[in-house]
């Protein structure tokens, strides 16, 4: 139970760490992104980049949670639920600033990508253990 709880906490924190690093990378790679960010006036490529960063962060968080929690698969589900509950009010407040499809894609893929990260970690550990 303690390992599962630590896994959820680490996954939660790591989501934001990965998102921050990804956002810094997006700022460096996409011209005028920083200016658009201040105004919340993103172009389509910028929105897609933001979704990619969120997707990457979700997979990383699920992977880390699973790596720490071990066989306690419920920890990844708890993390996914916590992240959705955390982001629902955020996206509600931002509803008018982004197209509806953006919110639907972000919120609709958040939990599945976290669970995919957890499953990926599970598959990798199984292959490492099964390897001769």
What's residue 125's pLDDT? 61
What distance in Å separates the CA atoms of residue 50 and residue 60, rounded to the nearest whole number?
A: 15
Q: What gap in Å lies between CA 80 and CA 88, rounded to an integer?
A: 12
Mean pLDDT calculated for residue range 61-74:
92
Q: Where are the domains of the chain?
A: 2-130
pLDDT in tens, 39-64: 999 999 999 999 999 999 999 999 99
pLDDT of residue 70: 87
Confidence of residue 123 (pLDDT cuts 50, 70, 90): low
Centre a 10 Å sphere on the Cβ of residue 75 and count the other Cβ atoms it contains: 26
| pLDDT value of residue 1 | 86
Q: Are 12 and 79 in contact (CB under 8 A)?
A: yes
Kindly give, in sequence order, each residue whose CB lies less than 8 Å from that of residue 73, ignoring residues fewer than 6 positions away. 66, 118, 122
CB–CB of 14/61 below 8 Å?
A: yes
How much is the mean pLDDT over the chain?
93
> Is the pLDDT assigned to residue 132 strictly greater than 60?
no
Residue with tokens 């996954």: 11
């Amino acid at each position: 139970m303690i390992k599962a709880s630590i896994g959820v906490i680490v996954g939660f924190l790591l989501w934001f760490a990965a998102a921050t690093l990804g956002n810094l990378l997006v700022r460096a790679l996409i011209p005028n992104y920083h200016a658009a960010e201040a105004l919340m006036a993103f172009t389509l490529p910028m929105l897609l980049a933001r979704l990619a960063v969120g997707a990457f962060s979700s997979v990383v968080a699920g992977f880390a949670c699973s790596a720490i929690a071990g066989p306690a698969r419920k920890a990844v589900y708890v993390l996914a639920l916590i992240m959705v509950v955390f982001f629902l009010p955020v996206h509600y407040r931002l509803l008018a600033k982004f197209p509806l499809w953006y919110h639907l894609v972000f919120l609709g893929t958040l939990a599945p990508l976290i669970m995919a990260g957890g499953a990926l970690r599970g598959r990798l550990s199984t292959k490492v253990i099964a390897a001769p």
